[in-house]
């Protein structure tokens, strides 16, 4: 195919500055919007960047295996979300088929595509895209999806669509990057999804934590609350069970020394050298941010959870069930002396995020906490795993 593209034969100095800038963004796994005049566009530069054999070596230069996947939305049969994801999956399959990846991998993504076509199910199609991209990232490949003429699907954009894009990046541990081409900025294409004022308040609250962002977008899309200020948005999000669960997972990933340091920071107390050494993980991973000699928990949503957690532990001595623990306990009581499958537990305890999936770690931690509290309560029931 590359022999048929004249731009693939251009000298590497063609659009040198633009190539250097785009290569730097791709190297850092940034997502970028390339804006061009309608009907004229940037296709000439894009074909050069996508198909010239020397681009990755000259303009990315990080020694990693980069995998470019162009998805031209001119190929859409209809401008609907389901067709967008089907086309994306097909282009991923096409590029993998042309690659040097093992035949087993090629056969695997072909099966994903065929199963998706047979089912005509949107969730299965998006999940197949996720599996294909995860397969690439686990093979040491850094995939970049080029959504060309993205403005063609502007009328189908909504917060759930944006959340799915973020979810794919999260599934690949941020190894996936997006390059959008359009005749307008994304926030001008669809202000209800990408409006700067609305997004800025949300971004300030989630403060760089992608999972909070994904959950918040889903919450806002499902409930469509009428919120007039950033403070109202914050108050709404901290009460949502999905946000609480995410905060709970973060909290339970810490040991007792680390949890106590967070409590002390919340109370405004000093942290001595020994405590900081024992809880060094908090600084190394960014749980604690320091600026001008002041320490703070990295995220307002998690900070709120820690304050509520401390207060709740003081009032109940830490043996009362949380909402999720209580749902698990009720479910297990209804299935005494039975082996309960993972999917049954998710359906009973996490119905609101069942489609997104729940990690084994989250289930194990919930079961462990419920078991521990049953023992502390002197309850006659016992959970066996």
Kindly compute the dihedral angle of the four CA atoms of residues 304, 309, 310, 312, in this order, to the nearest 10 degrees.
120
Domain contains 213: no
| Burial of 133 per CB tally in 10 Å (0-12, 13-18, 19+) | buried
CA distance 179 to 193: 18
Residue 382 belongs to what domain range?
A: 317-385
* Eight-class DSSP state of 201: H
Count of beta carbons in the 10 Å neighbourhood of residue 306: 20
Are 184 and 323 members of one domain?
no
Domain contains 265: no
Main-chain phi, psi angles of 257, to 5 degrees = -65, -45
As beta bridge partners, residue 146 has 70, 179
Run of H or E residues at 71: strand 65-72
CA distance 106 to 222: 37
Which of 190, 220, 251 is the C-terminal boundary of a domain?
Answer: 190
CA distance 69 to 84: 14
Taking only the tens of pLDDT, the chain with its 385 residues reads 444 778 778 888 887 888 888 888 888 888 888 776 555 556 778 888 888 888 888 888 777 888 899 999 989 888 888 999 999 999 999 999 988 888 988 898 899 999 988 888 888 999 999 999 999 988 888 999 999 888 888 877 777 787 788 889 888 888 899 988 877 666 555 655 555 555 677 778 887 777 888 888 888 777 777 776 778 888 888 888 788 888 888 888 888 889 899 989 888 888 898 998 999 989 888 888 887 778 888 888 999 998 888 766 555 455 677 778 888 888 998 888 888 888 888 888 877 665 556 677 778 878 887 888 888 778 888 888 7
Which of 190, 206, 236 is the C-terminal boundary of a domain?
Answer: 190
* Contact in structure between 80 and 68 (CB atoms under 8 Å): no
Which of 130, 160, 190 is the C-terminal boundary of a domain?
Answer: 190
Q: What's 92's domain CATH number? A: 3.40.50.300
Task: Pick the closest to residue 96 from 113, 83, 109 (CA basis).
Answer: 109
Domain contains 134: yes
Half-sphere exposure of 134 (CA within 13 A, CB side): 12
Domain contains 337: yes
Q: What separation in angstroms does the CA of 367 have from each of 101, 240, 259, 331, 382?
A: 40, 21, 20, 12, 11
CA distance 93 to 304: 44
Domain contains 238: no
Task: Pick the closest to residue 245 from 372, 350, 318, 354 (CA basis).
Answer: 350
Q: How many domains does the chain have?
A: 2
Domain contains 331: yes
Domain contains 282: no
Domain contains 177: yes
CA distance 23 to 28: 9
* Contact in structure between 168 and 135 (CB atoms under 8 Å): no
């Amino acid at each position: 195919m590359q022999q048929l593209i004249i731009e693939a034969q251009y000298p590497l100095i063609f659009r040198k500055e633009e190539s250097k800038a785009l290569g730097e963004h791709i190297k850092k796994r940034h997502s970028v919007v390339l804006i061009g005049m309608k009907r004229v566009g940037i296709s000439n530069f894009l074909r050069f960047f996508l198909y010239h054999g020397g681009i990755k070596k000259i303009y990315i230069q990080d020694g990693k295996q980069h995998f470019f996947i162009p998805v031209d939305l001119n190929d859409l049969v209809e401008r609907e979300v389901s067709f967008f994801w089907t086309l994306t999956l097909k282009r991923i399959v096409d590029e993998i088929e042309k690659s040097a990846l093992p035949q087993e991998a090629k056969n695997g993504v072909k099966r994903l595509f065929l199963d998706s076509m047979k089912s005509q199910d949107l969730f299965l199609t998006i999940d197949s895209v996720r599996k294909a991209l995860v397969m690439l990232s686990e093979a040491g490949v850094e995939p970049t999806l080029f959504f060309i003429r993205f403005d063609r699907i502007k009328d189908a954009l909504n917060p759930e669509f944006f959340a799915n894009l973020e979810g794919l990046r999260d599934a690949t541990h941020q190894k996936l990057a997006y390059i959008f081409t359009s005749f307008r900025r994304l926030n001008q294409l669809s202000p209800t999804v990408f409006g700067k004022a609305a997004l800025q308040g949300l971004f300030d609250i989630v403060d760089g934590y992608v999972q909070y962002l994904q959950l918040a977008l889903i919450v806002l899309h499902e409930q469509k609350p009428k919120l007039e200020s950033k403070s109202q948005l914050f108050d709404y999000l901290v009460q949502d069970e999905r946000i609480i669960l995410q905060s709970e997972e973060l909290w339970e990933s810490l040991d007792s020394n680390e949890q106590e340091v967070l409590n002390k920071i919340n109370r405004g107390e000093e942290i001595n050298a020994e405590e900081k050494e024992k809880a060094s993980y908090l600084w190394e991973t960014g749980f604690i941010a320091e600026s001008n000699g002041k320490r703070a928990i990295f995220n307002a949503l998690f900070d709120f959870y820690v304050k509520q957690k401390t207060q709740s532990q003081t009032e109940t001595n830490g043996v009362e069930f949380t909402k999720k623990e209580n749902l698990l306990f009720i479910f297990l009581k209804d299935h005494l002396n039975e082996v309960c499958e993972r999917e049954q537990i998710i359906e009973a305890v996490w119905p609101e995020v069942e489609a997104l999936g729940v990690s084994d770690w989250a289930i194990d931690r919930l079961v462990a906490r419920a078991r521990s509290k049953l023992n502390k309560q002197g309850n006659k029931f016992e959970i066996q795993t």
